[in-house]
Homo-oligomer: A and B are copies of this chain.
Amino acid sequence: MSSMENGAGAAAGAPQGPPHAPERAHPVTLREVAEAAGVSTATVSLVVNKKKDARIAEETRRRVKEAIRTLGYRPNAMAKTLVSGTSKFIGLVADGVATTPFAGQIIHGAQDEAWKHGYALLIANTEGNGELEQDAISMMLEYKVRGILYSTWFHRATDIPAPLREADFVLVNCFSDEPGARAVVPDEVQGGRSATEILLRNGHRRIAFINATIPAPAKDGRLAGYRQALEEAGIPFDPDLVMESYPDQEGGYRATAELLKRDVTAVFCYNDRMAMGLYDGLREHGLAIPEDMAVVGFDNQEVIAAHLRPPLSTVALPHYELGAAGVRMLLGLDAAVDGAAKIQCPAVERNSVQTKARA
């Protein structure tokens, strides 16, 4: 039996409580606060709901607050919501909390920011199930959320689900071509440029890029960034130095032989998982990182990047900041921009790049 189902008359701190609820008491009622303070329930209600214009003597207000504190009274948030018409919830719909290590940081950033402004995050994890998604959004609407963040685990274009249109919403890590659809996404072009610049700064001129085989904004954006960085450094783009492979460890490993046919001293991998596989491939060829080949990844994936041998220089996907920026945009604290707002991908330098003496 839950505490919510207990009658209001149960004795506080009842020693014969249910076995799973040590020392649990029943919830304190408004009436008990009123009795303890020697006032009417209406007066307690006025104090609880912070009606500043209500004419209550300061001494009475003090007594009520004291009783609330002593008894540990909790006002009913649902009742407040009915009065105000909107709850202190922000909904977050995510499609991959369980299957990727990325959604956690979006949640973390969104929650910290929401909390800062007095909102709690109501999270639904759909794992790509459309029916579950519809149900989750409907539930959020029924709970009168202030708005909904609709997020995807990898950066991509998305359709806007019909029920989402009934709410204030912001797309997070995804975007729509519909005019006016607010969105925050990582700046893939800047990220690709930063990754390449790490290698350029260390004197490398012949730099390969192992891109992904799978079409995605990350694929196009990181390639564009790679080209921009080369151009700014006055290095002509050589299409022969761009390869493609499946974006995981096995894909990186398989790309090793092709990479070694190119006359390069450095490589930018589409993601950290690829770089991890490439490490294994290079080692099997008896090559040392960074002495024989400098390697840069992308993602700054928690359990991988910092723990490879040597630790991997990379560019971080700004998932925490995407969540936080989504909340700020939803609440109107950050201005919406035309198209999607782009969040910086910061460079994270470790030991997989060594300064190359310039020729």
Contacts and interface: CB of A to CB of B under 8 A. Distances in A.
Interface string A122-165: 11110100001001101101111111000000000000100001
Contacts of A38: none
A166 B25 contact: yes
Given A127-B108, A160-B22, A303-B303, A5 B85 contact: yes
A79 B82 CA distance: 7
A122 B122 contact: yes
Copies of this protein in the assembly total 2
B307 A249 contact: yes
A303 B273 contact: yes
A224 interface: no
Given A115-B135, A132-B115, A22 B78 contact: no
Contacts of A165: 21-25
B125 A120 contact: no
A82 B76 contact: yes
Nearest to A109: B98
B2 A147 contact: yes
B122 A120 contact: yes
Interface stretch (A60-68, A179-187, A235-243, A260-268): A179-187
A20 B181 contact: yes
Given A2-B146, A24-B166, A276-B307, A105 B98 contact: yes
Contacts of A2: 86, 146-147, 167-168
A5 B120 CA distance: 19
A63 B249 CA distance: 58
A79 B142 CA distance: 10
A148 to B, nearest CB: 10
A226 interface: no
A103 interface: yes
A349 interface: no
A101 B22 contact: no
A136 to B, nearest CB: 8
Contacts of A132: 115
Given A97-B107, A168-B2, A168-B3, A77 B139 contact: yes
A166 B135 CA distance: 30
Given A78-B87, A160-B22, A4 B249 contact: no
19 contacts: A2-B147, A3-B166, A3-B167, A18-B180, A20-B170, A21-B180, A22-B178, A24-B166, A76-B144, A77-B144, A78-B81, A78-B82, A103-B104, A107-B125, A115-B132, A123-B123, A250-B307, A253-B309, A273-B307
